[in-house]
Amino acid sequence: MLAAGAALCVAAGLWTAERDGSRAVPATADKGKSGPSSEEGAPETAGSRGNAFASAKRVALTFDDGPHPVYTPKLLELLEQEQVPATFFLLGQNVEAYPEVVEEIAGKGHLIGNHTYHHVEITSLSEEQACLEIDETSRLIEELTGSGTEYVRPPFGTWNEGLEDRLDLIPVMWTVDTLDWTTENVDWIVERTMADAGENAVILMHDSYESTVRAVERLIPLLRSEGFEFVTVDRVIMD
């Protein structure tokens, strides 16, 4: 449940109910904020193949809505085999339900971000409610992993910039929407992703489906064969 009076929400900001409407917003970091450098913040355990391809094109696999009790562990096993670092934007309610999976994500060196507690549309909430949704999720993640998260992916891609005065988090959108949640057709997901993936692509997927895990299994060698290096999303937006 949501705790009242979350610490990060004390400074009042203006409520600006901007609605973007577009789900295909380019991934951009908040201009003024500084995030971790790759040396400090990015796990090197899972991405060391990148050393040999220092000038490789970067791509970030990002997974929303987890952790899932079945498919997230399957995906983690695959990513470990392939030495691919990834980013997981977690729902607070699933963090609470499957804490052991969150610990496994963190233990394997992936980056964890915030996806609100109940998968809510931020712009439909008051700032107070939005802060609670985000702060409680960050608190749960920190409790389990020992470190807080610096990134938030707003569900549905709608963000209230007024929150940036109150929350010390950087919003992260995406450049490739795989629409993996709409189909079990792995071929379709793979083809769509490969068609849209470019340098510094931020690929949006969901670790709640068998078909997504199977698509990732095929996408990893395909993207590598096109010269892509896998990185956590902070290295795409902050470097």
Under the binding rule (CB under 5 A), the answer on residue 180 touching Ni ion is no
Identify which of residues 134 and 228 has a Cβ nearer to Ni ion in the complex: 134
Radius of gyration in angstroms for the set of CA atoms belonging to the chain, rounded to a whole number = 17
Cβ neighbours around 95 below 10 Å, total: 27
Instruction: Determine contact, residues 131/6, Cβ cutoff 8 Å.
Output: yes
Q: How far apart are CA 67 and CA 140, in angstroms?
A: 13
Contact string (CB under 5 A) for Ni ion, positions 99-138, x = contact: ----------------------------------------
Under the binding rule (CB under 5 A), the answer on residue 65 touching Ni ion is yes
Candidate list 115, 206, 207, 234, residue with the active-site label: 206
How many residues line the site for Ni ion (CB under 5 A)? Answer: 3
State the minimum distance, in angstroms, from the CB of residue 65 to Ni ion. Answer: 4
Helix (H) or strand (E) holding 59: strand 57-66
Q: How many helices (H) and strands (E) does the chain have?
A: 8, 8
Q: Catalytic: 206?
A: yes
Secondary structure E strands in 25-164: 57-66, 87-90, 111-114, 151-152
Q: Which of 64, 135, 180, 234 binds Ni ion (CB under 5 A)?
A: 64
**Where does this chain touch Ni ion (CB under 5 A) — which range of 72-80, 141-149, 154-162, 225-233?**
154-162
Q: How far apart are CA 26 and CA 173, in angstroms?
A: 6
Q: Catalytic: 65?
A: no
State the minimum distance, in angstroms, from the CB of residue 206 to Ni ion. Answer: 7
Q: Which of 73, 113, 155, 157 binds Ni ion (CB under 5 A)?
A: 155
Active site residues: 64, 206
